[in-house]
Amino acid sequence: MTATTDGTGAAEPRAAEAGHSTTVLPRTEAAGEPPKAREAAERAAARAVDHLLAHQDERGWWKGDLETNVTMDAEDLLLRQFLGVGDEKTTEAAARFIRSRQRPDGTWATFHGGPAELSATIEAYVALRLAGDAPDAAHMAAASAWIREQGGIAAARVFTRIWLALFGWWKWEDLPELPPEIMYLPKRAPLNLYDFGQWARQTIVPLTIVSALRPVRPAPFALDELHTDPRRPNPPRPLAPATTWDGLFQRLDKALHLYHRFPVGPLRRAALNSAARWIIERQENDGCWGGIQPPAVYSVIALHLLGYDLDHPVLREGLASLDRFAIWYEDAEGRPVRMIEACQSPVWDTCLAAVALVDAGLRPDHPALVKAADWMLDEQVVRSGDWAVQRPGLTPGGWSFEFHNDNYPDIDDTAEVVLALRRVDHPQPRRVEAAVERAARWTLGMQSKNGAWGAFDADNTSKLPNKLPFCDFGEVIDPPSADVTAHVVEMLAVLGMEHHPRTRRGIEWLLAEQEECGAWFGRWGVNYVYGTGSVLPALVAAGLPASHPAVRRAVAWLEAVQNADGGWGEDLRSYRDPEWIGRGASTASQTAWALLALLAAGEREGAAVERGVAFLARTQAEDGSWDEPHFTGTGFPWDFSINYHLYRQVFPLTALGRYLHGEPFTAERRAG
């Protein structure tokens, strides 16, 4: 779809830099390489370079749409209803998007081609009712019938029932309790605030306020049609044995409900104030919280409940920031449609685009690359954030995923930005080297005790938060992962630190994490194809020979799961069902990840690589892009899936470039 955003969204296409085709470096040809395959790859890469350059913003960054599921859009409408700030144009445009994602059976899924999902279907249904869709309309009746078959509202996730409780459609007493007094648990105490991952932490703090105050804004209609028995809409849930974690936390929840009825007044008031202060201190300069939509939504509600009116600067800026998550476009009939992004990914998209362009042969001093490097350098985070709770003496120097997010730089973005900066010939090399040195020092300091790296925090590995009844909305901790660790190892190798003790510990951890089949688990991309596509290039860059047993096992696995059409694909269901591991419709991004791994392992002239390259060349559109409706990214594996609209452009171009030119294009290769 063609999309525009308000302020800082996807850039409109613009003309590519004049004469860029003359600044592409000559390819390196391999003996015995099939001429037709090489020519097809060269044509595809040239078109992809043109396409990517044409979509760079004039300020230097790239950003593709970040598509998730309709719960973002439904909850945005519910928020506007709760605050009384809805308008007809926004409601109608959002409703069109929600309807466009409804499946023929009346349900909604959380990813393209995925199974129907109860909570998403309930939230979409309620949003459409707010938009005026009649409950007896065919599409609505089909949805409500399916919801009842699945157990109705009572079977939905906690977050869905919290939204319904705000309007009196569910009882607050029948929701898990999480009191604001959690703010006072010391760092060493179980279930303290910093046991949660940063995304969960930012969501939980405002929700403790909402849970404590239990507001109800009367709904404009009832939802009897979404209950299996409207006379008993809140059926009791069975109590698990006390000897199980579920049973233990159910009993703890009962105790917390009792405390809610008889709280220690001064302590409760102080905890609410502390939670509000914590929220306000973490509001970003653009008015948002952490650059992601869900914490911003709940923070606005929480502060409003504490008496902040909508004209207060904190709430005014917070609401304005939410509008910047909106992607507006027109449907086939020319009517406005509005999609909400859960997050925006300009830093991630820009560093990946820069890597792709240089690896494809664009000269590293090309104006587009210098402009991208300038923008990335300006985005480096040089002040402390929540990560410093675990690493209090560490000098900052990372990069965040989003436009504005100084509290939560992440290790994955930092590693990839460094890899991008080292590929660019910048007119101020000392400036680049200073930024890279800060980044490397910060990244080394964020290593966890086991030798690996998580995304946002070090040693965020407690298993207890995931067991809370309140936390059924996806992963709420941030343990080290193979893909993030691999990107760090690759970064350190490019910086000449492949023999550094911390790098070697990361390599040892990666080797120990290899699955029996030869693949690696993918935390932030789907799934084993992504993990393997991240790890193999890193291990080879760090000095492992292509003959190493771990490398050969991974190559054998990738060759075994290649699809008949020459591509690779893996369905999100692989996170729950082992039968789906390495299986799924071929996609451009996943094919590229497999090719990056095979090329790193020395398989450039192999049949699998030739077939994969042919798939990319064959499926490319005339404008140099690839179509990819499938979701190949994750926020939480399975529970929250992402379609990064730029993945289908940057990763195939990177793979084609490395096929044509050999190893990744580093400063050392240029000097040689």
* Locus of tokens 């060269």: 42
With beta carbons less than 8 A apart as the criterion, state whether 292 and 407 touch: no
Please give the Cα distance from 96 to 357 (Å, whole number). Answer: 37
Q: State the pLDDT at residue 543.
A: 96
What dihedral angle (degrees, nearest 10) is formed by the CA atoms of 61, 64, 70, 74?
30
- At 488-506, the pLDDT tens digits run 999 999 999 999 999 999 9
Q: State the pLDDT at residue 233.
A: 81
Domains of the chain: 41-64+345-461+480-671 (1.50.10.20), 67-231+251-340 (1.50.10.20)
Please give the Cα distance from 266 to 208 (Å, whole number). Answer: 16
Q: State the pLDDT at residue 33.
A: 52
Q: What are phi and psi of 339, to 5 degrees?
A: -115, 140
CA atoms within 13 A of residue 151's CA, in its CB half-sphere: 11
With beta carbons less than 8 A apart as the criterion, state whether 43 and 393 touch: no
With beta carbons less than 8 A apart as the criterion, state whether 197 and 276 touch: no
Q: State the pLDDT at residue 6.
A: 39
Helix (H, G, I), strand (E, B) or coil at 597: helix
Q: What are phi and psi of 55, to 5 degrees?
A: -110, 10
Q: State the pLDDT at residue 248.
A: 85
* Positive or negative torsion for Cα 601, 606, 611, 613: positive
With beta carbons less than 8 A apart as the criterion, state whether 61 and 5 touch: no
10-residue mean pLDDT profile of the chain (672 residues): values are: 40 36 46 70 97 98 96 97 95 98 97 96 98 98 98 95 96 94 94 94 95 95 94 80 84 90 94 97 93 92 96 96 94 96 96 98 97 98 95 97 93 98 97 98 98 97 87 87 98 97 98 98 97 98 97 98 98 96 98 98 96 97 96 93 97 98 60 38
Please give the Cα distance from 91 to 337 (Å, whole number). Answer: 10
Q: What are phi and psi of 379, to 5 degrees?
A: -90, -5
* Locus of tokens 């009191």: 179
- At 289-299, the pLDDT tens digits run 998 988 999 99
Please give the Cα distance from 205 to 279 (Å, whole number). Answer: 7
Please give the Cα distance from 652 to 591 (Å, whole number). Answer: 8
Q: Specify whether 412 is catalytic.
A: yes
What dihedral angle (degrees, nearest 10) is formed by the CA atoms of 245, 248, 249, 253?
170
DSSP secondary structure, 408-438, as one string: --BHHHHHHHHHHHTTS--S-HHHHHHHHHH
Q: Which one from 359, 406, 412, 483 is the annotated catalytic residue?
A: 412
Q: What are phi and psi of 158, to 5 degrees?
A: -60, -45
CA atoms within 13 A of residue 89's CA, in its CB half-sphere: 2
Q: State the pLDDT at residue 4.
A: 40
